[in-house]
């Protein structure tokens, strides 16, 4: 048990990256070791994918020490709109 | 050999594509590393540099510090850090991986 919850991660991302959309899924059956995260934010505009992921990694640096596996996806708002249509 | 910054600089430039992973391309020991291997295979990338962090604890720690990236696998193209499994997957899905590979003369 890491004690890390979806709500906790979601709030932290919300606060720092001000996303227009954020999805956190716990893939660990509640033990808090494995997550899937999607973040859509204006702050990603003009930044390469690596930089976008670094922003999320930095935001969750403390939690990443205990999270065993993380699947991360970041998008700019335009990419998110496009994906929703398909 | 010890994994100094100079050693990493040398290793990531030695091959056009370099992967630090868990296991070896013939037998990846983790789903994330396996995903990278499969994507590279799809693009016909052969003979890339692959380094198994499970066999070398110093490498495992060192590579994270070298790239300031917290996890393995890590992919380098043309000596530049591209990212981990998720980034490589997304670049693949968006068709941008082809461009990255073209920069180093690999046609997929």
Q: Per-residue confidence at B76, pLDDT binned at 50, 70, 90?
A: very high
Structural class in CATH, domain A6-81: alpha beta
Strand positions, DSSP E, chain A: 21-26, 34-40, 69-75
Q: What is the pLDDT of residues B29-61, one digit of tens each?
A: 999 999 999 999 999 999 999 999 999 999 999
Chain A residues within 8 A of B64 when measuring between CB atoms = none
Q: How confident is the model at residue A13 (pLDDT cuts 50, 70, 90)?
A: very high
Name the residue among A48, A66, A55 with its Cα closest to residue A4: A66
Q: Which residues of A touch B71 (CB under 8 A)?
A: 70
Radius of gyration of chain A from Cα atoms?
13
Place A35 in a pLDDT band, splitting at 50, 70 and 90. Answer: very high
Q: What is the pTM of this model?
A: 0.91
Q: Given this model, what pLDDT does residue A1 score?
A: 65
pLDDT in tens, B1-24: 699 999 999 999 999 999 999 999
- pLDDT reported for residue A30: 80
Structure confidence at residue A29 (pLDDT): 86
Say if the Cβ atoms of A73 and B81 lie within 8 Å: no
Does the beta-carbon distance from B86 to A71 stay under 8 Å?
yes
Q: Cα B105 to chain center, whole Å?
A: 17
Residue A40 has pLDDT above 70, yes or no: yes
**Residue among A54, A61, A73 minimizing CB distance to B90:** A73
Instruction: Identify the residue with better confidence: A2 or A45.
Output: A45
The reply to whether residue B69 touches residue A49, judged by beta carbons under 8 angstroms, is no
d(CA B12, CA B14) in angstroms, rounded, equals 6
Model ipTM?
A: 0.87
Neighbours of A46 (CB within 10 A): 7
């Amino acid at each position: 048990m890491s004690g890390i919850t979806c709500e906790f991660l979601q709030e932290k991302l919300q606060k720092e990256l001000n996303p227009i959309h954020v999805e956190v899924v716990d893939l660990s059956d509640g033990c808090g070791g494995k997550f899937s995260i999607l973040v859509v934010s204006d702050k990603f505009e003009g930044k390469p994918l690596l930089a976008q992921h670094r922003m999320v990694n930095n935001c969750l640096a403390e939690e990443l020490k205990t999270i065993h596996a993380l699947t991360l996806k970041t998008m700019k708002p335009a990419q998110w709109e496009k994906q929703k249509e398909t | 050999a010890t994994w100094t910054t100079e050693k990493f600089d040398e290793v990531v430039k030695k091959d056009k594509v370099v992967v630090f992973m868990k296991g070896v391309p013939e037998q990846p020991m983790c789903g994330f590393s396996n995903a990278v291997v499969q994507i590279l295979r799809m693009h016909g990338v052969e003979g890339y540099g692959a380094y198994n962090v499970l066999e070398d604890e110093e490498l495992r720690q060192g590579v994270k510090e070298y790239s300031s990236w917290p996890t393995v696998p890590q992919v380098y193209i043309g000596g530049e850090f591209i990212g981990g499994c998720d980034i490589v997957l997304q670049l693949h899905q968006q068709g941008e991986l082809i461009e990255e590979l073209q920069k180093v003369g690999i046609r997929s």
